[in-house]
Amino acid sequence: MPGGTLVRRSVVCAWDAAAWCLAVALIVGTRYEFYLSAEQWSTVFLYAALACVSQLIVGTLLKLYRGKYRLGSFEESLGLLLSTVVVALLLVVAFVALRGLDEFPRGIAFLAPPFALVTMAAGRWAYRAWQGSKRLPIEGAENVLVYGAGDAGYQLLRLVDIDSSSPFRVVGLVDDDPRKRHLSLLGRPVLGGRTDLVRAARERDVSTVILAISGAGKSLITEVADIVEGAGMKFLLLPPLKQMLGGRVKLSDVKEFEITDILGRRQVETDVASIAEYLTDRRVLVTGAGGSIGSELASQVHRFGPSRLILLDRDESALHSVQLAIYGKALLDTPDVVLASIRDARSLREAFERHRPQVVFHAAALKHLPMLEQYPAEGWKTNVWGTNNLLELAAEFGVEKFVNISTDKAANPTSILGRTKQLAERLTSWYGANAAGTYLSVRFGNVLGSRGSMLHTFQQQIARGGPITVTHPEVSRYFMTIPEACELVIQAGAIGSDGEVLVLDMGEPIRILDVAHRLIVNSGKDIDVVFTGLRPNEKLHEDLLGTGEAGVQKRHPLITHVSVLPLSPSVLESYDPQTASPLIEQTDGCPPAREAGDSID
């Protein structure tokens, strides 16, 4: 133990012993005016000595003197209270209940402990206040307002006070709760609500505002960001509670405001037990493992301890990246990294024969709508035939769970992308009815941060000085972050039934123009927005459910279960790869392909 720590703990022990002696002396002086007999004085001295020894023993057992608590903290106060109660009860039993010392002034046994507790606590709080007064502001620290005078705001203030290298100097707080208008937290006053924010900041030369409400919704974040950034200040915030270890605030949690903070959704509650049941100690195959969704899926699956995680992709560089991200090395010399295209049935068969996967997450797909409109046959080969290749092998090799990653463009499809993904959903549904395992699809909208996504496009356009191109001023889309989407995909795999499409709750659709404006504000640049017009077969607004589809929430509040018409793979030959539509009406007993607008019986 360092010498300074030993001295400090010794001083605390001495103070607590002295506190009991002072408390006894105070009671003897005020209640008995020091008029005691010689026998009574002897019992008083014995009581004080035993109180000191008992306090040190009990306090050591409760780790009050072993560094468990920060001096003067709330947690230490509770420990101090418990130790005082235990010591008081022991002394009451010894001096009063047992009646072994009839000369003892019994009022001391009941009045001294509260005074001893107050004295011990007062010494600690005085020391803490003295230490706080010695802390000098760091040169160059920013004057900061904290938005939120709740638990997260209080924790943040404590950390700023404790951390001698903190770059922040908190000069006040802002909170919308009128009951906190005259509140003061650790010496910082609440200066008003949202409407008072700019005024309070200017009066105190504030350059930064930190939103310390860990559960803040996107509407609150957006409104506060507009106010703060509109006044020329920097806007920082705490991430959602689930992203902070143990729900405790750290200074490192404070981060710059990003577009994902207003496009994300509410916290996902994951049933870890059900997920672990079908992933732990299983052989899991992820197709498209090098893509944005596939790589995050593989990373999350890896945490559940599969017996083998097979990463399949046609892009060797992408496989290198995902293996490096998961394992910290990427030699690409192990059999669990499979370089193959899902279009190649022979290569897929070799992979299935070698690894015999028990769970398959199918994330491989062609996804760019304008490109597939130009080359529809390529979308057919990957999204339809490639998916059917996997489904056929999964059924042959007895896969227990097959999860097909779909898109909201499969609901009321108008494009090649939408129609091919709808066919993939229907093929998966057919295998769900005819194969031994569980086959289901998961449908969600745009994923923030995926390769080639709108977010990357806008950021690159801003970096080039603009303009930002938006197809239509009113075009809107559903958004999810990659980790949220993958977390719900894995959850869906645990609760989905054969042939279902599970639709993830995407919240409210967001106007693309609003995203563009937010990114422009964040950049601090003067960037123009140019409208280019909707592209062929592109929707103004997307749907999550197709016409006639009825969704039911069964086991998770963010996942809706939908039934879709199955499609037998035997009728794929009757489809036109250029349009992903049937050439003729089917007469083999299989239902015809459903076009946008048709209802499901």
The two beta strands, 559-563 and 479-481, are unpaired
Residue identified by tokens 């109180």 is 51
Cβ 52 vs Cβ 91: under 8 Å: no
Cβ 84 vs Cβ 113: under 8 Å: yes
CB count within 10 Å of CB 315 equals: 15
Phi, psi at 331, each rounded to 5°? -85, -15
pLDDT score, position 508: 74
Output the pTM of the full model.
Answer: 0.64
List Cβ<8 Å contacts ≥24 apart for 275-281.
275/304, 275/490, 275/491, 275/493, 275/494, 276/304, 276/305, 277/494, 278/359, 278/400, 278/401, 278/493, 278/494, 279/304, 279/305, 279/306, 279/359, 279/490, 280/304, 280/305, 280/306, 281/305, 281/306, 281/307
Collapse the DSSP code of 560 into the 3-class scheme (helix H, G, I; strand E, B; otherwise coil) and give the result: strand
| Strand partners of residue 469 | 530
CA distances, 253 to each of 142, 153, 159, 206, 243 (Å): 17, 13, 11, 21, 9
Phi, psi at 143, each rounded to 5°? -75, 130
CATH architecture of 142-257: 3-Layer(aba) Sandwich (3.40)
Residue identified by tokens 């404006």 is 517
CA distances, 46 to each of 20, 39, 97, 107 (Å): 12, 11, 16, 15
CATH no. of 272-445+480-506+546-582: 3.40.50.720
Cβ 288 vs Cβ 277: under 8 Å: no
Residue type, 110: F
Residue type, 506: M
Alpha carbons 579 and 29: distance in angstroms, whole number: 100
Alpha carbons 542 and 288: distance in angstroms, whole number: 24
Q: Which secondary-structure segment (H or E) carries 311? A: strand 308-313
Low-confidence ranges of the chain (pLDDT < 50): 241-247, 265-266, 586-601
pLDDT score, position 593: 39
Burial class (CB in 10 A: 0-12, 13-18, 19+), 451: middle
Domain boundaries of the chain, sorted by first residue? 3-134, 142-257, 272-445+480-506+546-582
142-257 and 272-445+480-506+546-582: identical CATH topology: yes
pLDDT in tens, 257-303: 666 666 654 455 566 667 878 999 999 999 999 988 999 999 999 99
Cβ 539 vs Cβ 418: under 8 Å: no
Q: Which of 101, 183, 121 is nearest to 146 (CA)?
A: 183
pLDDT score, position 259: 67
Alpha carbons 174 and 162: distance in angstroms, whole number: 21
Cβ 316 vs Cβ 327: under 8 Å: no
Q: Which string of b and e fits 49-69 if b means at least 16 CB within 10 Å?
A: ebbbebbbebbeebebbeeeb
Cβ 236 vs Cβ 209: under 8 Å: yes
CA distances, 19 to each of 30, 50, 51, 162 (Å): 16, 13, 10, 27
